[in-house]
Structure 1
Amino acid sequence: MTSRLKKLLLCSVCLLSPMTQALTLNARLTGEGLVWQNGMRIGGYLTSTNWQILGGLTPTTEWAPGTFMAAPLTEMTLSNGTDSVTVPVEVSGMQYGLGAAADKFPDQVSAPGGMPCTDFQMQPATASVIGSGCAAGNTYKSSTLYTPFQFARPLVTFDDATLISAFRAASIPEGTYNGTIATSPFYMYRSQGGAWTYRQFGPVPLSVQIRYVPAFLTNVQILGNGLMTPTYDSINYSVSGETAFKVRASGFFTSGVKLTFEDRTYELKHSDLESRIAYDVTCPACSDTSIVKDGALQLTSGETTVPGSGSFVAFDLLVHFDASDSEVETGRYTDSMVVYFEESL
């Protein structure tokens, strides 16, 4: 019986525990495109679509929404646990949600305080105040004591272009970067003794999470038919041929394009006989210009890069063979070459 009572007691505690939602601004930064995924704009300011749920506020008959006693920090550090970047941010003000108190404070009158914000908007259900160390110039007034509001959330300003530049300048890898802005807002209210005073509440933290993809590859276009028409040198008794592939990689690049080649012997094979001709592959724009020499791969780990930045990277892959005429049999020679393309990070 005792065991069952304990289980029922624990269950009742679970049901009575308040549920809160973390205030998190999620964004995705891909190349130079920044998208705030769960943010909303209020008068040009950015905030979370969720609210911080508050409780335990002193009932009053009159109150005015405020901002912050001290100016919040003007920058925040975002980290993935190993790498970090510091970005500018302005905590511009606060928005309040009255909740059930909206019907209890039907009137608005001029505030008796001496530090009014120059920018504030007060609606029946929500109020927004902008500035530091100030409160709205109006108050919500009621004929009965009641909790002034139930929800709050910071209003912030990010300069998207500056934020993007900070990520690029930091040269950090792809990942999810997190940071938090801590705010301790205040509001003015009339105490039950009639005095006009203030109260700090919170903290009301705002977390920022940015999924960062510094570079991406969307498409690779290759032009070239791959045909090598043989040229005969009757003086040196040799034959040669060459062809070129023009490559254009599209997407967004910060450090160019990485090329990966298979580690194998590169040879042209006769369609009917066992005759083979080794060939060369060069890439004038690559960091390693000699890719294949006399059929042998020259790259460490099979990789090289084409430097470049922006929305596309263009370069040439040149294929060439040079053999003595005694090595070449009449007929058709072919080979296929596999190259893997990806953004260089």
Structure 2
Amino acid sequence: MMAVDKIGQATYAVQGVYIQGTGSVVGPKEGQGPLGQQFDRVWKDERAGQATFEKAEQALLIESYDEALKKAQKRWEDIELVVGGDLLDQIITTNFSARQHGRPTLGLFSACATFTEALAVGALLIGGNGPKTVLASAASHHQTAERQFRFPVELGYQRTPTTAWTATAAGAVVLSEDVGPLAIEAVTVGRVVDIGGKDPNDMGSAMAPAAFDTISQHLQDTGQEPGDFDKIYTGDLGHFGIKMLIEYAAQKGLQFGDELDDCGRSLYNQATQDTHNGGSGPGCSASVFAGPLARRLVRGDWDRILLVATGALFSPTTYQQGETIPCVAHAVAIKAVRGAGQ
């Protein structure tokens, strides 16, 4: 039975919404990282035969769609709605890709928190007796994001230790009312939090308070503790941001244990891959969930996780105008459904 019930201030309990299939596609650098063998596809180069990096990002997303549909045993005509987003102006990766699949599409933007926003929107719509099958996704590409938000990589500028590495990655999931190997338990919609940070090369520190705000709200609304989850994965706080989250939470009376981890911190080898703070971008949490995390849930390593993607909501224009960086995090609780293998 499908149902959505609001609990607490910002959380919705969801029943009868399942993840039937996932697709994860990453670039060569991501494939060389610790999780490289756990993605569905790893590109040999970042352009993959496309004329531009922007077109390559669209191809990356389409391939993640194909993998998710294949595992869910669905065709495009079975998908009633596509929800997703990316980092590029006018979310062109998601919107231009929609020219190919031709399905009804809702383009979303929460920066690097877009994937959990997409999961939340899809789950709430299905649980509220809307569409029966939704494809949720997010994508990013290192070369396109660097060009838009920082500098052309050809300049060879020096990156600071707190700078994140935008992942060349895409992840997609098929959400459905039909039983699948994973189920959505609850979603918590985050508030925009701004602590006054202005450095786009230190987004982990800017996003940590937003991650805390959403995690603590989810725990308060559901009456749970961090240890009730096998894992709590933030999106892309990275090595510096996750430390700040732990310290910030401790000051507020919330203690994390070994269950806390971060998708961006997990994606690369910090010692050998020169990614500094770790991975970032909407495709970071999308691919890490759709690949490694979903696999571990399905094979029985874990029963429940809380995925909390984090996003810094600035633009090149607001940065140049001296604005601070508002941030947001959205949380989705996901559990394994035993006996319904992917």
Q: TM-score range by the shorter chain?
A: under 0.3
Highest RCO, 1 vs 2 (Cα 8 Å, sep ≥ 6): 2
Structure (1/2) with the larger strand percentage: 1
Structure whose alpha-carbon radius of gyration is higher:
1
TM-score (norm. length: structure 1): 0.23
Structure (1/2) with the larger helix percentage: 2
